[in-house]
Amino acid sequence: MKEILLKNARIVDPARQLDVKGDLGIADGKIAAPGKLAKPEVIDLAGKTVVPGFIDVHVHLRQPGNTNAETIKTGCMAAAAGGFTSIVAMPNTKPAADNAGAIELLRSIAAREGVVRVLPCGCMTNGGAGEEMAPIGSLKSAGVVALSDDGRCIQNHALMRHVVEYAKYFELPILDHCEDVALAAGGVMHEGKWSVLLGMNGISSASEELMIARNILLAKQIQWKIHMQHVSTRGGVELLREARKRGIMVTGEATPHHLTLTDECVKHFDTNYKMNPPLRSEDDRQAVIEGIVDGTLSVIATDHAPHTRTAKLVEFDNAPFGIIGLETAFALCYTELVASGRMPLIDLVARMTTGPAAVLGIADYSLAEGNVADLTVLDLDQKYEIDPATFFSQARNTPFGGRAVAGKVAMTLVGGKVVYAGK
Protein backbone atom coordinates (compact mmCIF):
# COMPACT_ATOMS: atom_id res chain seq x y z
CA MET A 1 0.00 0.00 0.00
CA LYS A 2 1.56 3.23 -1.23
CA GLU A 3 1.52 5.96 1.39
CA ILE A 4 2.38 9.64 1.06
CA LEU A 5 2.56 12.29 3.75
CA LEU A 6 2.26 15.88 2.58
CA LYS A 7 3.78 17.92 5.37
CA ASN A 8 3.58 21.56 6.44
CA ALA A 9 1.21 22.63 3.71
CA ARG A 10 -1.48 25.28 3.70
CA ILE A 11 -4.62 23.27 3.08
CA VAL A 12 -7.50 25.06 1.34
CA ASP A 13 -10.67 23.00 1.07
CA PRO A 14 -13.77 24.96 0.00
CA ALA A 15 -16.31 22.18 0.62
CA ARG A 16 -15.42 22.24 4.31
CA GLN A 17 -14.53 25.96 4.36
CA LEU A 18 -11.06 25.04 5.57
CA ASP A 19 -7.96 27.20 5.16
CA VAL A 20 -5.41 25.80 7.62
CA LYS A 21 -1.77 24.82 7.98
CA GLY A 22 -1.20 21.13 8.42
CA ASP A 23 -0.39 17.70 7.04
CA LEU A 24 -2.33 15.53 4.67
CA GLY A 25 -2.02 11.78 4.35
CA ILE A 26 -2.63 9.57 1.36
CA ALA A 27 -3.02 5.82 1.56
CA ASP A 28 -4.12 3.48 -1.19
CA GLY A 29 -5.12 6.34 -3.44
CA LYS A 30 -7.36 7.90 -0.83
CA ILE A 31 -6.99 10.70 1.64
CA ALA A 32 -6.06 9.35 5.06
CA ALA A 33 -5.33 10.69 8.53
CA PRO A 34 -1.61 11.51 8.75
CA GLY A 35 -1.35 9.69 12.08
CA LYS A 36 -2.52 6.41 10.62
CA LEU A 37 0.20 6.13 8.00
CA ALA A 38 2.77 3.39 8.66
CA LYS A 39 5.81 4.22 6.50
CA PRO A 40 4.86 7.04 4.15
CA GLU A 41 6.96 8.80 1.58
CA VAL A 42 7.24 12.29 3.06
CA ILE A 43 6.96 15.37 0.89
CA ASP A 44 7.66 18.67 2.62
CA LEU A 45 5.29 21.31 1.26
CA ALA A 46 6.37 24.24 3.44
CA GLY A 47 5.29 27.41 1.65
CA LYS A 48 3.01 25.49 -0.68
CA THR A 49 -0.76 25.15 -0.77
CA VAL A 50 -2.77 21.97 -1.21
CA VAL A 51 -6.24 22.13 -2.78
CA PRO A 52 -8.65 19.57 -4.22
CA GLY A 53 -7.78 18.77 -7.82
CA PHE A 54 -9.26 21.25 -10.27
CA ILE A 55 -12.16 20.15 -12.48
CA ASP A 56 -12.55 21.66 -15.95
CA VAL A 57 -16.03 21.12 -17.35
CA HIS A 58 -15.08 22.48 -20.78
CA VAL A 59 -12.17 20.93 -22.69
CA HIS A 60 -11.68 20.06 -26.35
CA LEU A 61 -9.31 17.13 -26.81
CA ARG A 62 -9.63 16.96 -30.63
CA GLN A 63 -9.29 13.18 -30.77
CA PRO A 64 -10.61 11.72 -33.00
CA GLY A 65 -10.46 14.06 -35.96
CA ASN A 66 -7.81 16.67 -35.37
CA THR A 67 -4.89 14.99 -33.66
CA ASN A 68 -2.51 17.48 -35.28
CA ALA A 69 -3.89 19.99 -32.80
CA GLU A 70 -4.25 17.84 -29.68
CA THR A 71 -4.67 14.26 -28.52
CA ILE A 72 -6.30 12.76 -25.48
CA LYS A 73 -2.81 12.03 -24.21
CA THR A 74 -1.35 15.52 -24.66
CA GLY A 75 -4.56 17.19 -23.52
CA CYS A 76 -4.45 15.18 -20.32
CA MET A 77 -0.80 16.09 -19.75
CA ALA A 78 -1.68 19.75 -20.24
CA ALA A 79 -4.52 19.34 -17.76
CA ALA A 80 -2.20 17.78 -15.19
CA ALA A 81 0.29 20.62 -15.65
CA GLY A 82 -2.55 23.05 -15.07
CA GLY A 83 -3.59 21.35 -11.83
CA PHE A 84 -6.70 19.72 -13.29
CA THR A 85 -7.41 16.16 -12.15
CA SER A 86 -10.71 15.79 -14.02
CA ILE A 87 -11.70 17.22 -17.38
CA VAL A 88 -14.96 17.03 -19.27
CA ALA A 89 -14.25 16.23 -22.93
CA MET A 90 -16.53 18.12 -25.31
CA PRO A 91 -18.17 15.91 -27.93
CA ASN A 92 -17.56 18.05 -31.04
CA THR A 93 -14.81 15.79 -32.29
CA LYS A 94 -14.78 14.48 -35.86
CA PRO A 95 -16.85 12.40 -35.96
CA ALA A 96 -18.88 13.80 -33.08
CA ALA A 97 -19.36 11.87 -29.84
CA ASP A 98 -23.06 11.36 -30.43
CA ASN A 99 -23.17 7.58 -29.89
CA ALA A 100 -22.11 4.97 -27.33
CA GLY A 101 -19.26 3.69 -29.51
CA ALA A 102 -17.59 7.10 -29.62
CA ILE A 103 -17.80 7.34 -25.83
CA GLU A 104 -16.32 3.87 -25.41
CA LEU A 105 -13.44 4.80 -27.73
CA LEU A 106 -12.76 7.96 -25.73
CA ARG A 107 -12.85 6.07 -22.45
CA SER A 108 -10.54 3.32 -23.64
CA ILE A 109 -7.93 5.72 -25.04
CA ALA A 110 -8.18 7.86 -21.92
CA ALA A 111 -7.74 4.82 -19.67
CA ARG A 112 -4.65 3.79 -21.62
CA GLU A 113 -2.99 7.14 -22.26
CA GLY A 114 -4.58 9.79 -20.07
CA VAL A 115 -2.94 10.87 -16.84
CA VAL A 116 -6.05 12.64 -15.51
CA ARG A 117 -9.70 11.59 -15.34
CA VAL A 118 -11.46 12.17 -18.65
CA LEU A 119 -15.20 12.57 -18.12
CA PRO A 120 -17.03 12.09 -21.40
CA CYS A 121 -19.71 14.48 -22.54
CA GLY A 122 -22.15 13.39 -25.25
CA CYS A 123 -23.94 15.37 -27.92
CA MET A 124 -27.50 16.57 -27.34
CA THR A 125 -28.29 16.07 -31.02
CA ASN A 126 -26.94 13.80 -33.74
CA GLY A 127 -23.69 15.23 -35.01
CA GLY A 128 -24.29 18.24 -32.80
CA ALA A 129 -26.27 19.54 -35.74
CA GLY A 130 -29.26 20.64 -33.69
CA GLU A 131 -31.82 18.68 -35.67
CA GLU A 132 -32.51 15.26 -34.13
CA MET A 133 -32.10 14.17 -30.53
CA ALA A 134 -29.00 12.01 -29.94
CA PRO A 135 -29.38 8.58 -28.24
CA ILE A 136 -29.15 10.14 -24.80
CA GLY A 137 -30.00 7.00 -22.87
CA SER A 138 -27.33 4.97 -24.65
CA LEU A 139 -24.85 7.76 -24.10
CA LYS A 140 -25.63 7.62 -20.39
CA SER A 141 -25.12 3.85 -20.36
CA ALA A 142 -21.77 4.36 -22.10
CA GLY A 143 -20.67 6.70 -19.33
CA VAL A 144 -21.27 10.32 -20.25
CA VAL A 145 -21.53 12.77 -17.36
CA ALA A 146 -23.24 15.57 -19.28
CA LEU A 147 -24.67 16.60 -22.64
CA SER A 148 -23.61 19.44 -24.90
CA ASP A 149 -23.66 20.56 -28.53
CA ASP A 150 -20.80 22.93 -27.65
CA GLY A 151 -19.61 25.14 -30.42
CA ARG A 152 -23.17 25.16 -31.61
CA CYS A 153 -26.48 25.94 -29.98
CA ILE A 154 -29.82 24.26 -30.68
CA GLN A 155 -31.83 27.00 -32.37
CA ASN A 156 -35.13 25.15 -32.33
CA HIS A 157 -36.58 25.91 -28.90
CA ALA A 158 -39.02 22.99 -29.03
CA LEU A 159 -36.20 20.52 -29.70
CA MET A 160 -34.16 22.05 -26.87
CA ARG A 161 -37.12 21.67 -24.56
CA HIS A 162 -37.43 18.00 -25.44
CA VAL A 163 -33.71 17.36 -25.00
CA VAL A 164 -33.73 18.92 -21.53
CA GLU A 165 -36.87 17.01 -20.53
CA TYR A 166 -35.45 13.74 -21.81
CA ALA A 167 -32.04 14.33 -20.21
CA LYS A 168 -33.68 14.97 -16.85
CA TYR A 169 -34.80 11.34 -16.53
CA PHE A 170 -31.21 10.23 -17.19
CA GLU A 171 -29.94 12.82 -14.70
CA LEU A 172 -27.57 14.36 -17.24
CA PRO A 173 -26.88 18.08 -16.90
CA ILE A 174 -26.97 20.20 -20.04
CA LEU A 175 -23.88 22.30 -20.84
CA ASP A 176 -25.03 24.86 -23.37
CA HIS A 177 -23.16 27.16 -25.72
CA CYS A 178 -25.62 30.06 -25.77
CA GLU A 179 -25.79 31.74 -29.16
CA ASP A 180 -28.62 32.85 -31.40
CA VAL A 181 -27.19 32.08 -34.81
CA ALA A 182 -29.19 34.61 -36.82
CA LEU A 183 -28.16 37.47 -34.54
CA ALA A 184 -24.53 36.38 -34.48
CA ALA A 185 -24.37 35.63 -38.21
CA GLY A 186 -20.97 36.16 -39.75
CA GLY A 187 -19.54 37.68 -36.60
CA VAL A 188 -15.88 37.27 -35.76
CA MET A 189 -15.56 39.52 -32.71
CA HIS A 190 -17.66 41.34 -30.11
CA GLU A 191 -20.08 43.85 -31.59
CA GLY A 192 -19.18 47.18 -30.10
CA LYS A 193 -16.82 50.12 -30.44
CA TRP A 194 -13.93 48.02 -31.70
CA SER A 195 -15.85 45.99 -34.28
CA VAL A 196 -17.23 49.27 -35.59
CA LEU A 197 -13.81 50.93 -35.79
CA LEU A 198 -12.17 47.86 -37.32
CA GLY A 199 -14.95 47.18 -39.83
CA MET A 200 -15.39 43.63 -38.61
CA ASN A 201 -18.64 41.72 -38.31
CA GLY A 202 -19.78 41.72 -34.72
CA ILE A 203 -21.33 39.10 -32.45
CA SER A 204 -23.79 41.04 -30.33
CA SER A 205 -24.24 40.53 -26.61
CA ALA A 206 -27.93 39.99 -27.30
CA SER A 207 -27.15 36.89 -29.39
CA GLU A 208 -25.74 35.25 -26.23
CA GLU A 209 -28.23 36.70 -23.74
CA LEU A 210 -31.23 35.63 -25.78
CA MET A 211 -30.26 31.96 -25.44
CA ILE A 212 -29.32 32.33 -21.77
CA ALA A 213 -32.83 33.71 -21.21
CA ARG A 214 -34.32 30.85 -23.24
CA ASN A 215 -32.43 28.31 -21.16
CA ILE A 216 -33.52 29.94 -17.89
CA LEU A 217 -37.15 29.68 -18.97
CA LEU A 218 -36.74 26.02 -19.96
CA ALA A 219 -34.85 25.15 -16.77
CA LYS A 220 -37.64 26.73 -14.75
CA GLN A 221 -40.38 24.93 -16.63
CA ILE A 222 -38.66 21.52 -16.69
CA GLN A 223 -36.90 21.91 -13.33
CA TRP A 224 -33.65 20.53 -14.62
CA LYS A 225 -30.04 21.66 -14.70
CA ILE A 226 -28.83 23.84 -17.54
CA HIS A 227 -25.29 25.15 -17.28
CA MET A 228 -24.36 28.16 -19.40
CA GLN A 229 -20.94 27.76 -20.93
CA HIS A 230 -18.52 30.68 -21.16
CA VAL A 231 -20.81 33.53 -20.04
CA SER A 232 -19.22 36.68 -21.40
CA THR A 233 -21.65 39.60 -21.11
CA ARG A 234 -22.97 41.81 -18.33
CA GLY A 235 -26.53 41.05 -19.40
CA GLY A 236 -25.84 37.31 -19.24
CA VAL A 237 -24.43 37.58 -15.72
CA GLU A 238 -27.44 39.63 -14.60
CA LEU A 239 -29.94 37.15 -16.07
CA LEU A 240 -28.22 34.31 -14.24
CA ARG A 241 -28.00 36.23 -10.97
CA GLU A 242 -31.73 36.88 -11.02
CA ALA A 243 -32.60 33.31 -12.03
CA ARG A 244 -30.42 31.77 -9.34
CA LYS A 245 -31.98 34.06 -6.76
CA ARG A 246 -35.32 32.58 -7.74
CA GLY A 247 -34.00 29.06 -7.29
CA ILE A 248 -33.98 28.04 -10.95
CA MET A 249 -31.53 25.19 -11.65
CA VAL A 250 -29.10 27.17 -13.77
CA THR A 251 -25.38 27.67 -13.40
CA GLY A 252 -22.75 29.48 -15.41
CA GLU A 253 -19.04 29.43 -16.10
CA ALA A 254 -16.47 32.06 -16.99
CA THR A 255 -13.25 31.46 -18.89
CA PRO A 256 -9.90 32.88 -17.80
CA HIS A 257 -9.70 34.87 -21.05
CA HIS A 258 -13.04 36.59 -20.54
CA LEU A 259 -11.81 37.53 -17.05
CA THR A 260 -8.58 39.06 -18.31
CA LEU A 261 -8.92 40.36 -21.90
CA THR A 262 -11.22 42.67 -23.87
CA ASP A 263 -12.25 43.26 -27.48
CA GLU A 264 -9.61 45.99 -27.85
CA CYS A 265 -7.02 43.17 -28.06
CA VAL A 266 -8.35 42.33 -31.52
CA LYS A 267 -7.08 45.58 -33.05
CA HIS A 268 -3.85 44.03 -34.32
CA PHE A 269 -5.70 41.15 -35.98
CA ASP A 270 -3.89 38.46 -33.97
CA THR A 271 -6.02 35.34 -34.40
CA ASN A 272 -5.11 34.16 -30.90
CA TYR A 273 -7.65 36.72 -29.73
CA LYS A 274 -10.41 35.11 -31.77
CA MET A 275 -12.79 32.95 -29.78
CA ASN A 276 -16.52 32.41 -29.42
CA PRO A 277 -18.05 33.96 -27.44
CA PRO A 278 -15.69 36.76 -28.33
CA LEU A 279 -13.68 38.94 -25.97
CA ARG A 280 -16.20 41.55 -24.86
CA SER A 281 -16.00 45.12 -23.59
CA GLU A 282 -14.27 46.20 -20.39
CA ASP A 283 -17.70 46.66 -18.78
CA ASP A 284 -18.60 43.07 -19.66
CA ARG A 285 -15.27 41.86 -18.30
CA GLN A 286 -15.92 43.62 -15.00
CA ALA A 287 -19.40 42.09 -14.85
CA VAL A 288 -18.00 38.60 -15.42
CA ILE A 289 -15.47 39.21 -12.63
CA GLU A 290 -18.30 40.37 -10.34
CA GLY A 291 -20.20 37.21 -11.27
CA ILE A 292 -17.25 35.02 -10.33
CA VAL A 293 -16.66 36.96 -7.11
CA ASP A 294 -20.26 36.76 -5.87
CA GLY A 295 -20.77 33.21 -7.08
CA THR A 296 -23.38 33.97 -9.73
CA LEU A 297 -20.89 32.20 -11.96
CA SER A 298 -19.92 29.20 -9.86
CA VAL A 299 -17.46 27.72 -12.33
CA ILE A 300 -14.23 28.68 -14.04
CA ALA A 301 -13.74 26.59 -17.16
CA THR A 302 -11.08 26.97 -19.81
CA ASP A 303 -12.82 26.12 -23.10
CA HIS A 304 -9.39 24.70 -23.97
CA ALA A 305 -9.59 24.76 -27.77
CA PRO A 306 -6.40 23.60 -29.47
CA HIS A 307 -5.70 24.60 -33.06
CA THR A 308 -2.58 24.09 -35.13
CA ARG A 309 -0.34 27.04 -35.96
CA THR A 310 -1.29 26.54 -39.60
CA ALA A 311 -4.99 26.84 -38.83
CA LYS A 312 -4.48 30.09 -36.93
CA LEU A 313 -1.90 31.63 -39.30
CA VAL A 314 -4.54 33.12 -41.59
CA GLU A 315 -6.66 36.23 -42.06
CA PHE A 316 -8.67 37.00 -38.90
CA ASP A 317 -12.00 36.38 -40.67
CA ASN A 318 -10.88 32.91 -41.75
CA ALA A 319 -9.31 31.72 -38.50
CA PRO A 320 -11.06 29.14 -36.31
CA PHE A 321 -12.42 30.28 -32.95
CA GLY A 322 -10.71 29.28 -29.73
CA ILE A 323 -7.56 29.27 -27.63
CA ILE A 324 -5.93 26.76 -25.30
CA GLY A 325 -6.26 27.37 -21.59
CA LEU A 326 -5.48 24.39 -19.37
CA GLU A 327 -1.91 25.36 -18.55
CA THR A 328 -2.57 29.05 -17.92
CA ALA A 329 -5.96 29.02 -16.17
CA PHE A 330 -4.97 29.01 -12.53
CA ALA A 331 -2.15 31.55 -12.82
CA LEU A 332 -4.29 33.96 -14.83
CA CYS A 333 -7.22 33.72 -12.41
CA TYR A 334 -5.05 33.82 -9.30
CA THR A 335 -3.24 36.92 -10.57
CA GLU A 336 -6.38 38.69 -11.77
CA LEU A 337 -8.71 37.80 -8.90
CA VAL A 338 -6.80 36.81 -5.77
CA ALA A 339 -3.41 38.55 -5.92
CA SER A 340 -5.32 41.72 -6.89
CA GLY A 341 -7.43 41.40 -3.75
CA ARG A 342 -10.81 40.95 -5.41
CA MET A 343 -11.60 37.56 -3.88
CA PRO A 344 -10.11 35.16 -1.33
CA LEU A 345 -8.16 32.13 -2.51
CA ILE A 346 -10.72 29.72 -1.06
CA ASP A 347 -13.43 31.16 -3.34
CA LEU A 348 -11.26 30.88 -6.45
CA VAL A 349 -10.50 27.28 -5.53
CA ALA A 350 -14.25 26.71 -5.10
CA ARG A 351 -14.91 27.96 -8.64
CA MET A 352 -12.40 25.41 -9.92
CA THR A 353 -13.45 22.49 -7.71
CA THR A 354 -16.77 22.42 -5.84
CA GLY A 355 -18.48 24.67 -8.40
CA PRO A 356 -17.85 22.38 -11.36
CA ALA A 357 -18.41 19.30 -9.16
CA ALA A 358 -21.89 20.56 -8.33
CA VAL A 359 -22.68 21.07 -12.02
CA LEU A 360 -21.77 17.43 -12.66
CA GLY A 361 -23.59 16.18 -9.57
CA ILE A 362 -20.41 15.04 -7.79
CA ALA A 363 -21.11 15.14 -4.04
CA ASP A 364 -18.60 15.96 -1.31
CA TYR A 365 -15.72 17.07 -3.52
CA SER A 366 -13.28 17.72 -0.70
CA LEU A 367 -10.06 16.67 0.99
CA ALA A 368 -11.98 14.79 3.69
CA GLU A 369 -10.56 11.48 4.81
CA GLY A 370 -11.71 8.58 2.69
CA ASN A 371 -12.15 10.63 -0.47
CA VAL A 372 -10.18 9.86 -3.58
CA ALA A 373 -6.82 11.63 -3.43
CA ASP A 374 -7.20 13.94 -6.43
CA LEU A 375 -5.33 17.03 -5.39
CA THR A 376 -3.21 19.89 -6.58
CA VAL A 377 -0.23 21.58 -4.96
CA LEU A 378 0.24 25.28 -5.67
CA ASP A 379 3.21 27.58 -5.27
CA LEU A 380 1.40 30.89 -4.91
CA ASP A 381 4.52 33.00 -4.44
CA GLN A 382 6.15 32.05 -7.68
CA LYS A 383 6.13 34.90 -10.19
CA TYR A 384 6.98 34.17 -13.83
CA GLU A 385 6.20 34.90 -17.43
CA ILE A 386 3.99 32.47 -19.32
CA ASP A 387 6.12 30.59 -21.85
CA PRO A 388 4.14 28.56 -24.38
CA ALA A 389 7.32 26.69 -25.35
CA THR A 390 7.04 24.80 -22.06
CA PHE A 391 3.44 23.64 -22.62
CA PHE A 392 2.53 19.97 -22.64
CA SER A 393 -0.36 20.72 -24.94
CA GLN A 394 0.42 19.99 -28.53
CA ALA A 395 -1.05 23.36 -29.47
CA ARG A 396 0.36 26.83 -28.90
CA ASN A 397 -2.64 29.01 -29.71
CA THR A 398 -2.59 31.27 -26.68
CA PRO A 399 -2.52 35.06 -26.49
CA PHE A 400 -0.87 34.88 -23.06
CA GLY A 401 2.73 34.18 -24.05
CA GLY A 402 5.00 36.60 -22.18
CA ARG A 403 2.29 37.66 -19.72
CA ALA A 404 3.55 38.16 -16.16
CA VAL A 405 1.63 36.08 -13.64
CA ALA A 406 1.87 34.72 -10.11
CA GLY A 407 0.89 31.28 -8.87
CA LYS A 408 2.29 28.08 -10.25
CA VAL A 409 1.02 24.53 -10.15
CA ALA A 410 3.77 22.59 -8.38
CA MET A 411 2.30 19.09 -8.32
CA THR A 412 -0.81 17.25 -9.38
CA LEU A 413 -1.99 13.93 -7.94
CA VAL A 414 -4.73 11.74 -9.36
CA GLY A 415 -5.87 8.90 -7.12
CA GLY A 416 -2.83 9.45 -4.93
CA LYS A 417 -0.44 9.11 -7.85
CA VAL A 418 1.78 12.02 -8.83
CA VAL A 419 0.95 12.80 -12.47
CA TYR A 420 2.76 16.13 -12.63
CA ALA A 421 5.64 17.30 -10.49
CA GLY A 422 6.58 20.71 -11.77
CA LYS A 423 9.12 21.75 -14.34
Partner 1 sequence: MQWNRKDLLELYDLAPEEIELILDTAAEFKKVSQRRVKKVPALRGKTVVNFFVEPSTRTRVSFELAEQRLSADIVNVQASASSLLKGESLLDTIKNIEALQVDLVVMRHSAPGAQAFIARHLNCGVINAGDGAHGHPTQALLDIFTIREKLGRIKGLNVTIIGDILHSRVARSNMWGLLKLGANVTFAGPSTLVPREFEEVGVRVTNNLEEAVAGADVVNMLRIQHERQTLGFFPSTGEYSRFYGLKEETLKRMKSNVLVMHPGPINRDVELASSVADGDNSVILEQVTNGLAVRMAVLYLVAGCVKK
For partner 1, which residue of 314, 368, 404, 421 counts as binding (CB under 8 A)?
Answer: 314
Size of the site for partner 1 (CB under 8 A): 16
Cα–Cα dist 416/29, whole Å = 4
Say how far apart CA 177 and CA 158 lie, in whole Å: 17
The answer to whether 315 contacts partner 1 (rule: CB under 8 A) is yes
Q: Does residue 169 touch partner 1 according to CB under 8 A? A: no
| 316: contact with partner 1 by CB under 8 A | yes
- Residue 278 contacts residue 187 (beta carbons within 8 Å): yes
Stretch binding partner 1 (CB under 8 A), from 40-48, 92-100, 109-117, 192-200: 192-200
Q: Which window, 106-114, 203-211, 291-299, 316-324, contacts partner 1 (CB under 8 A)?
A: 316-324
Stretch that binds partner 1, among 146-154, 311-319, 327-335, 411-419 (CB under 8 A): 311-319
Ranges within 317-346 binding partner 1 (CB under 8 A): 317-318
- Which amino acid belongs to residue 344? P
Q: Closest distance between partner 1 and the C-beta of residue 204, in Å?
A: 12
Query: Whose CA is closest to 215, among 155, 282, 266?
Result: 155
Nearer to partner 1, 198 or 206 (CB): 198
Q: Biggest alpha carbon distance in the chain? A: 68
- The stretch among 21-29, 209-217, 226-234, 313-321 that binds partner 1 (CB under 8 A) is 313-321
Of 169 and 269, nearer to partner 1 (C-beta) is: 269
Per-residue x/- mask for partner 1, residues 266 to 285, rule CB under 8 A? Answer: --xx----------------
Q: Smallest distance from the beta carbon of 310 to partner 1, in angstroms?
A: 7
Rank residues 91 and 202 by Cβ distance to partner 1 and give the closer one: 202
Q: Among the options 23, 303, 347, 374, which is catalytic?
A: 303
Burial 325-341 (b: 16+ CB within 10 A, else e): bbbbbbbbbbbbbbbee
Q: 403: how many CB neighbours lie within 10 A of its CB? A: 17
39, 310, 363, 389: which one contacts partner 1 (CB under 8 A)?
310
- Residue span binding partner 1 (CB under 8 A) among the ranges 122-130, 164-172, 190-198, 283-291: 190-198
**Are the C-beta atoms of residues 376 and 83 closer than 8 Å to each other?**
yes
Which residues, other chains included, contact 163 with Cβ-Cβ below 8 Å and sequence gap of 6+?
Answer: 124, 125, 133, 136, 147, 154, 174
Alpha-carbon distance of 349 to 295, in angstroms, equals: 12
Residue 315 CB, nearest distance to partner 1 (Å)?
A: 4
What CA–CA distance (Å, rounded) separates 415 from 28? Answer: 8
Contact set for partner 1, span 114-153 (CB under 8 A) = none
Q: Which of 196, 368, 404, 421 binds partner 1 (CB under 8 A)?
A: 196
HSE (CB half, 13 Å, CA atoms) of 296? 23
Among 67-75, 110-118, 142-150, 198-206, the segment contacting partner 1 (CB under 8 A) = 198-206
Does position 293 interact with partner 1 (CB under 8 A)? The reply is no
Minimum CB distance to partner 1, residue 74 (Å):
24
CA distance 125 to 162: 11
| 64 prior amide bond cis, ω within 30 | yes
303 noted as active-site residue: yes
Min dist. Cβ of residue 196 to partner 1 (A):
4
- Provide, rounded to whole angstroms, the least separation between the CB of residue 188 and partner 1: 9
Of positions 142, 200, 228, 287, contacts partner 1 by CB under 8 A: 200
| Dist. CA 127–CA 243, nearest whole Å | 31
Q: Can you tell me which of 14, 82, 114, 192 binds partner 1, judged by CB under 8 A?
A: 192
Q: How far is the CB of 398 from partner 1 (least distance, A)?
A: 18
CA dist 330 and 338 (Å) reads 10
Helical spans, DSSP H, in 48-180: 72-81, 100-113, 136-142, 157-169
Task: Give the end-to-end CA distance of the chain in Å, rounded to a whole number.
Answer: 28
The amino acid at 392: F
**Binding status of residue 158 toward partner 1 by CB under 8 A:** no
Q: Is 193 in the site for partner 1 (CB under 8 A)?
A: yes
Picking from 219, 253, 319, 277, the residue whose alpha carbon sits closest to that of residue 88 is 253
Active site residues: 303
Residue ranges binding partner 1 (CB under 8 A): 192-193, 196-200, 268-269, 310, 313-318
